[in-house]
Amino acid sequence: MQVFRTVISAFVFLFCALIFSSPHLLARESGEYIAIRKAGSGKIALVFSKPDAKGQTESGVAQELDTIIREGVDFTGAFTMISPPLNLKDQPENKSATLNFGALNSVGAEVYTGGKVEVNSGNISLDMEVYDTAAARSLFRKTYTGSREQLRSIGHRFCADLLELLTGKKSVFGSKIVFVSNKTGFKEIYECDFDGQRVEQLTNSRSISLTPALSPDGRYLAYTDFTSGRPALNIRNLTDKKTLLVSKNGVCIDPGWRNSSEVATTFSADGSQDIYLIKTDGTVSQRVTTTKGIDVSPSFSPDGSKMAFVSSRNGKPQIFIQDLKSGQAKRLTFNGPYNTQPSWSPAGDKIAYSTMEKSGEINIFVVNADGSGLIKLTQRSGENESPSWSPDGSMIVFTSSRQGTKKLFVMSSTGEHQRRLLQIDGDQMQPSWSLFRE
């Protein structure tokens, strides 16, 4: 990588952005770029310039977009941000001047992105271009439009394209997190954006609402509450806002979606807590487990063929994986006597879960779906619970008591960069990250 860059940066490239007018991702170049990056490692060194703007209105919008994009790319943890070199443009007074790739390379940039903002009768247009600085060429150019109210979405749509261009994968932008908070004095269900912004209260039952989970297509929210006097399952259609209450003798708790039309939940009508699959109309489509112990917390492989869950069939709670077709279940966890809360990664290769350790700490672990490659992601930070993967598998949201009361945190899928997600009152717990993106 270094050699490649040095050779290339020995030349001075003159480059005209206007040549590239295609709004579509230049797949060949992006593919090459990703292949080159794989030889290197870690974070992408990015120089991002505030979009150019002419008038006063445009400057204000550009300033806001600068913040949105900067915070957005920072949240992903995929970049090292480098300040633009002062001599970025060969002729600073000329906005359409040629980019000085020599200067970008000398500050260590791998990728440069910038663009311009225009505002026409309230409509915002953000024109962005992304460059491979070593090769001194454009990788991507696209125009994003919307109203002033959609500024966040405009900025994040660009961030999403930038991530996909450089990593070859879809990102977290546009995804949602649902969670429980007792902010009002009652445990209610809330929703926020992937980055903890735009918090919204979804239930107001003044009961105890628990374990929210959004269907993969984002059309339904399943959760447990006590409005009927006992813990029962609610399936809310988020389009028409109608909620179906699934209440049986015993508990109906802890839903986990298999796909957008089937959700697994624990019933105990026959006295034993077992997992059943039910349709969104509340009818049972299949009984999945039949053992005498407790079976809870279903989480499915992406193709829906396998289910990770917690079972006390051997005495203490451990995580098992069951093949839905054969009905065969295999124990996954062996580290300690209390392993619960499995979350299957969107790529299907890994399972995150929480372990209650001898010290009383609860910590989050990740293990391959075949039981190999166990790694510990949290330690010496109180109780760390309820892991849930981001839709791109790059991050995990979880609950931690490290600052006293329970709050939501995020970290990379390997445990790096652990930080608070939200700054709201009360305890927050049981986060669940959506698979869909808006």
Partner 1 sequence: MKKKINSMVVVALMMTAGCSSKSVVTPVAPPPPPAPAPVAVAPVAPAEPSGYGFDKWQRGPLGDVFFEFDSAQLSTDAQEQLKQNGSWLEGNSAKGALIEGHCDARGTSEYNLALGERRANVAKDYLVRLGVPSSRLQTVSYGEECPFTTDQNEEAWAKNRRAHFVVK
DSSP string for residues in 1-16: -HHHHHHHHTSPPP--
Give CA–CA dist 32/18, Å, rounded.
Answer: 22
Q: Is 145 or 268 the residue whose CB approaches partner 1 more closely?
A: 268
For residues 41 and 127, the answer to whether their CB atoms sit within 8 Å is no
Select 26 or 362, whichever has its Cβ closest to partner 1. 362
Distance CA(346)–CA(391), nearest Å, equals: 6
Smallest separation (angstroms) from partner 1 to the CB of 268:
6
Residue number, 124 or 364, with CB nearest to partner 1: 364
Task: Write down the least CB distance from residue 182 to partner 1, Å.
Answer: 8
Residue 191: CB minimum distance to partner 1, A: 19
Q: How far does CA 99 lie from the centroid of its chain?
A: 34
User: For partner 1, which is the closer residue by CB, 130 or 294?
Assistant: 294
Shortest CA distance to 280 belongs to which of 257, 301, 302? 257
3-state secondary structure of 44: strand
The amino acid that residue 58 corresponds to is E
CB of 213 to partner 1, least distance (A): 11
Beta bridge partners of 388: 397
Amino acid at position 141, single letter: R
Residue closer to partner 1, measured from CB, 207 or 412: 207
Closer by beta carbon to partner 1, 33 or else 353: 353
Q: Least distance in Å: CB of 253 to partner 1?
A: 5
In whole angstroms, how close is the CB of 214 to partner 1 at the nearest point? 17
Residue 33: both structure tokens together: 């770029």
Residue 203 makes CB contacts below 8 A (sequence gap 6+) with 188, 189, 209, 223, 225
The pair of three-digit structure tokens given for residue 298, joined into one six-digit string: 């279903």
User: Tokens 């697994």 — which residue?
Assistant: 264
Q: How far is the CB of 26 from partner 1 (least distance, A)?
A: 47
Residues that bind partner 1 (CB under 8 A): 185-187, 206-208, 210-211, 224, 226, 229-231, 250-251, 253-254, 266, 268, 271, 273, 294, 296-297, 310, 312, 316-317, 338, 340-341, 354, 356, 360, 362, 385-386, 429-430
Closer by beta carbon to partner 1, 310 or else 411: 310
Q: How far is the CB of 337 from partner 1 (least distance, A)?
A: 8
The minimum distance between CB 409 and partner 1, in angstroms, equals: 16
In this complex, which beta carbon is closest to partner 1, that of residue 172 or of residue 356? Answer: 356
What is the DSSP code (8-state) at residue 130? Answer: E
Nearer to partner 1, 166 or 296 (CB): 296
Minimum Å gap between C-beta 195 and partner 1 is 25
What token pair was written down for 215? 């269907």
CA distance 296 to 275: 7
Least Å from the CB of residue 340 to partner 1: 4
Instruction: Determine the Cα–Cα distance for residues 213 and 252; give it in Å rounded to an integer.
Output: 14
What are the tokens at 310?
Answer: 């917690």
Q: What is the DSSP letter of 191?
A: E
Q: Smaller CB distance to partner 1: residue 77 or 337?
A: 337
Q: Which is nearer to partner 1, 111 or 310 (CB)?
A: 310
Continuous H helices in 138-245: 151-167
Report the first-to-last Cα separation within the chain, whole angstroms.
36
| 129 φ, ψ (degrees, to nearest 5) | -135, 140
Separation of alpha carbons 155 and 124, rounded Å = 11
Q: Looking at this protein, which amino acid is placed at residue 324?
A: L
